Structure 1
């Protein structure tokens, strides 16, 4: 099954990977600017998000993305990834370093990260709400937890819509559906990387971002003091400028 995706533009390939709170629509504000900057831009919905249904078997998101790139004839791409999408990007970069030219990781997850009590408590609260059938409550928990104070109400509404869609798809998943993980070697990651974190985010993601320059070569960390967990939605223009600046250094277009 091919993931639902959009592709536009010419030049070096970029792949936008969304967070687990959103789907590929979270990149609406960056999409045109990246195309106009001279890149071939691809964004996709992971299985169970947006327009990509869950199959009746286990799947691996990194393999799905690589399969999509193969189908598009993309041999190498820069990965721009938010939160859970960052975890997927790291897995791709570790398993297939030849396929990744650069990475931007925004409030990224990391394979093998041991969650803090705060993050565990969030997960338990979300599970409790979903088990009680309170999807609206679980949606609001996510909006309140993951968006910082700079997010406009229209952005909060968009995240509500994307998160509700993800819950609806995932709660209706056939038996046997789910993600499969693989062991990876983080020392295999070679691509230059920009790690962005939010000063108002949960400690887990700030700690991961601060670790990345010690884990990966040629990695720079910038903490955005105004940001929560989804800075590309909270101040889209500021993040777009950071993305294009980094890409011009590492994967110049034209």
Structure 2
């Protein structure tokens, strides 16, 4: 049940720029105290995705969020890079031996890959509307158009499809204006970033989910793309001990659509022994 108790006032945010392999930097901020949690956003977004969830989490945890390479306030790449390497750079910069990872979409995929590559660095996983490497996506007209826009590096078309497919609840739903702003701000930069993103060394992650040892929460919205629901079912079935929850009135931008419900689930998950 969603609580109406005001969240404690977290410590002020501490903004940093983290050097990453190959040059450039990631923008990140850190706030709160307690066990560490790292928030990872999805493709074409930035760390503002977590604006509505962050205050609750930072009331009892040290929370770090960052803009993925080439997005938000992070520098654009000019050489191949890997998201797992960047996440490792974040943990190392803050001196974190272990942390809980909360990832949405691409951020969820990166979290899974990181847990496979560095299981000793992960306390727990929360996979929100997550994708996973090695999943066979269906061929549908809208997904084909989305893939074509990415392949042809058509930022304008890609941004429009991002909103119609992944933000299906529209501008009038909670977080709508911020979602549109994030997509617009990152449209051109996303094309550059994806051009330099190296293939994951864990492209077979879907076949290796049974080896994940971190306690795992799987969450997806009931208005997300149907295939995200299929992936959520797969994650819940294949990751040992995973717990799954659906959230009503939420699409792919779940942390902005239903922040209180998501914060409740995350805090309960993070409190598990």
TM-score by structure 1 length?
0.87
Check if 1:109 corresponds to 2:131: yes
1:154-191, Cα deviation, whole Å (9 max, x unpaired): 722212221222222234569x7333310354333111
Secondary structure of the residue aligned to 1:5 is strand
Secondary structure of the residue aligned to 1:70 is helix
Check if 1:181 corresponds to 2:204: no
Residue correspondences, number = 245
* Partner residue of 1:121 out of 144, 161, 166: 144
Partner of 1:64: 86
Partner of 1:141: 161
Check if 1:240 corresponds to 2:263: yes
1:18-39, Cα deviation, whole Å (9 max, x unpaired): 0113100110111111111x11
Shift of 1:138: 3.3
Check if 1:91 corresponds to 2:113: yes
Alignment of 1:189-228 (within 5 A): 189-228=212-251
CA spacing shift, 1:10–1:223, aligned 2, 3 Å? same
CA spacing shift, 1:247–1:155, aligned 2, 3 Å? same
Identify, as 1 or 2, the structure richer in helix: 1
CA distance, structure 2, for counterparts of residue 155 and residue 9 of structure 1 = 23
CA distance, structure 1, for counterparts of residue 245 and residue 132 of structure 2 = 17
TM-score by structure 2 length?
0.82
1:43-87, Cα deviation, whole Å (9 max, x unpaired): 011112101122211111011011111011011011111111000
Check if 1:80 corresponds to 2:99: no
CA spacing shift, 1:194–1:150, aligned 2, 3 Å? farther
Secondary structure of the residue aligned to 2:125 is strand
Relative contact order higher in (CA < 8 Å, ≥ 6 apart):
1
Is 2:44–2:187's contact at 8 Å kept on the other side of the alignment?
Answer: no
Alignment of 1:11-30 (within 5 A): 11-30=34-53
Which consecutive residues of structure 2, in runs of 5 or more, have no partner in the other structure? 1-19
Partner of 2:8: none
CA distance, structure 2, for counterparts of residue 180 and residue 125 of structure 1 = 18
* Partner residue of 1:10 out of 33, 56, 73: 33
Is 1:195–1:219's contact at 8 Å kept on the other side of the alignment?
Answer: yes
CA distance, structure 1, for counterparts of residue 193 and residue 230 of structure 2 = 33
